[in-house]
Structure 1
Amino acid sequence: MVHVLSLSSVILSFFTAVAGIFYYNHSLSRSTNCRDSVFSSAFGASWRAWIQSPCIEQHNDWNLYQHLGGYGPWVEKTAEDDEIQGNDVPDRIPLNGSLSFLNNWTYITSNPERDFEQLTTTGPYAGTHQAFETGLRFAAHYKHLIPSDANTKFWASDSKRVIETAQHFASGLFGSDWEKVGKAALEIIPETFDRRADTLTPGDTCLRYLEDEDRGHDNGVKMLTLFQQAYIPAIAERLLVEEGNRELEGFTNWEIFSMQEMCGFETTVRGSSPWCDVFTREDWKNFEYGRDLVHYYRGGPGNPYAGAMGWLWLNATANLLREGPKAGSMFFSL
């Protein structure tokens, strides 16, 4: 066992679980006014309103944002993003139908190298604001659990967006001077392979998981790729033929899937996205299932290494509970 006990204080407690739910399933309402009314007070909102706003635009019990795969408040770069960026403003071929917005659409960033895989800072769903707001809500509910003279230690993996999320969260929970006055201390855990079991990111350090081409990390994307063939060709046919865009050379399955991803990405940056209207409810249900396949076979029950990697947190939690109150009153890992 390699330094597993040193992670006993890196406990993903109930509080952290709620924070994770918030970031990966946060509400994406197109109505900023509605959202402002729900989240106007850290003390007034219920748990239900905190985790998921009831003001999300719905039609006949259909809520698109519940089917986007749980994107968080940062923009994840995919291999196909550059291809979409190349379609920024078509110079030669005017597009028709649901793709006609592309005739005047601008890409979500003019500086991908700076903005991709970072915390969003613009729009009603800015990750910086949401992290700070989450800290305020934790303070409203749980600050009484933290001794006034305590120096609370919390952890973040060595990723710029994760570190910034932790810092904004701490500012909301402990106050903007948390670091200066010693209310809390942030410890950054490297994501390097040499950390092995002493890590917050075992998906980067488990050698067999990384090297197993059949059942390891890449199995999720393999399963998604197989499923894409079951639903995406019909979408391409609709966009190209039925909507009068035959002059385009065609779309690959991954290009269509990236368009669906762009709905969530652009919404987090701008508050809404015309990409969301390109696809039908059935398209979104298939997209959601595709995302489920990725996570099920990449790090969930469908992956034989998931239990071993998840054991790190289970072991840390068990050790902390055995240690009792002397271990401390609150622990965070972001």
Structure 2
Amino acid sequence: MKFLTLTVLVCFYVKNVLTSECYWNTECKYNFFGSKTPYENVRGDIRDSVVRTEGCEAISIWVIMRHGKRNPGQIFARYIQHILKYKDFIVSSYEVGNSSMCAQDIENIKNWNVDLTMLSKPNEMAEEGYQELLRIGNRINEAFPELLKELQKKDHLFLPGFGQRLKESAKAFIKGLNQNLTLENDTYDYQIVAPYSTCGKYQVKVRRNPDVYQEEEVYKNTADYINMKERIIRKLGLSFTFSNQDITAIYDLCRYTSDGISNKPCPWCAVFSTEDLQVLEYIDDLRHYYRNGYGVSQYSQRLGQMPLADLLRKFEQAKNRKGKKIVSYFTHATMMDMILVVLNLYKDTNPLTGAHRDINRKWRTSFLSTFTSNMIAVLNRCSKPGQDEYFYNVAFYWNEKPLLDLCNRGVCSWQEFEDIFKPFLNTTITEFCEFKWKNID
């Protein structure tokens, strides 16, 4: 705790003694970019986090995780290409004395070249995303060496949802386990990995309903958001105003090209102050809240129960010595958000709204549904000295950190685990969804 306090004070001191705020040498950069946050910026380490109790051994691991860092989608890639045309205007504004940007920040933007692969291959997984999955596989393997030693085909299940980046994520994770394992055939069990993707009612009334983004649009008309845009224009010294689309494009350029593993931030992030980035982060929080989260709880509650019912079934099988040693599903941020809603985690007392940004809100996509965000559950078999009868507990982790708000600081007795998860076994979605959505994207 003392170290944390000292770090904060040092960061505050550095910020105030500089004659102007320069991004390039700021020690405490704001690295939280909503759902596009690099996993490395927020993760824990399962090797350190894993609960080790005398008399207990791990007998099964169940993992569900979002795909690794990817390239922007096709539309957003076009927006980024458009905004890159403004680079010369930004540099020229500084050279004639209109900009308050720092010299080194301008030089870094001037010399920066975009990775054309990022723009020409929309939605494909980036190299950093591959490394994110590879490394988490390494860490899980190191955390549970006895359980995962010499896995046979009957011992594992690796199942990605539809899409190349999910398959590549699964392959990277498997490689990280350092064993000669194979990915299952292309049989997509949407009921577990992504039940929302084939749920017609959800796709029509939520996913493709523009009203879902109403609070986001409300927020873009508040003083909080408008002041952010004005600060950027004044800082750059431009004679024209950026559109909301332009601001989003610069933000995407910043967050998609900031490398968490190599700790290399993108020079374009210098356009924003910390407060600007916090404003833009809230946009992502609103979007996820009303599309996947508590803002549409009637959908997220039902759909999010599907993978959690599978978790109980898989651990019941393992408890009866008929299960897998490791089960891993690969999905999207939508599924991760829905799981949080089902477990009633990170729920704010008051709903998030566009009218007001609560800086102390619990729903933060930068920590909940980042690239490679994950939930890990570990089934432990325990015994007491001199007794032949076993008892069991389940430890939970989110992004490799203990999920402290569940049971006893993330560790549930078997009875507690059953009490929470057993109601999910009765969940069905066929009638709820009304019809099957076939246009999977």
Structure 2 length-normalised TM: 0.52
Q: Which runs of 5 or more residues in structure 1 are unaligned?
A: 1-54
1:333 equivalent to 2:339? Answer no
RMSD, aligned α-carbons: 3.3
* Other structure's SS at 1:64 match: coil
Q: CA 1:330/1:85 → structure 2, altered by over 3 Å: closer, same or farther? A: same
Give the structure with the higher percent strand.
Answer: 2
More displaced 10-residue stretch of structure 1: 220-229 or 88-97 = 88-97
Residue 300 of structure 1 deviates from its aligned partner by 0.9
Query: How far apart in 2 are the matches of 1:242 and 1:174?
Result: 49
Q: 1:71 aligns with which of 13, 24, 37?
A: 37
1:168 equivalent to 2:172? Answer yes
Q: CA 1:170/1:227 → structure 2, altered by over 3 Å: closer, same or farther? A: same
1:156 equivalent to 2:184? Answer no
Residue 184 of structure 1 deviates from its aligned partner by 4.0
Residue 233 of structure 1 deviates from its aligned partner by 2.4
Cα deviation digits, residues 259-294 of structure 1 (max 9, x gap): 223221111398221222211222122222221111
Query: How far apart in 2 are the matches of 1:184 and 1:148?
Result: 13
Q: Which runs of 5 or more residues in structure 2 are unaligned?
A: 1-6, 13-26, 39-68, 331-441
Query: How far apart in 2 are the matches of 1:268 and 1:164?
Result: 19
* Other structure's SS at 1:146 match: coil
Q: CA 1:113/1:263 → structure 2, altered by over 3 Å: closer, same or farther? A: closer
Query: How far apart in 2 are the matches of 1:90 and 1:253?
Result: 15
Counterpart of 1:309, as a letter, is L
Q: Is the 8 A contact 1:75 1:119 kept in 2?
A: yes
1:308 aligns with: 302
Q: 1:208 aligns with which of 197, 201, 212?
A: 201
Residue 68 of structure 1 deviates from its aligned partner by 4.1
Query: How far apart in 1 are the matches of 2:150 and 2:199?
Result: 39
Counterpart of 1:314, as a letter, is L
Counterpart of 1:186, as a letter, is E
Superposed counterparts of 1:87-126, under 5 Å: 87-90=83-86, 93=89, 94-96=92-94, 97=99, 98=101, 100=106, 104=110, 106=112, 108-112=114-118, 114-121=120-127, 126=128
Query: How far apart in 1 are the matches of 2:88 and 2:129?
Result: 37
Q: CA 1:280/1:237 → structure 2, altered by over 3 Å: closer, same or farther? A: same
Larger of the two Rg values belongs to structure: 2
Q: Is the 8 A contact 1:132 1:172 kept in 2?
A: yes
Q: 1:186 aligns with which of 180, 184, 187?
A: 184
2:213 aligns with: 221
Q: Give me the identity figure in percent.
A: 18
Residue 102 of structure 1 deviates from its aligned partner by 8.8
* Other structure's SS at 2:158 match: strand
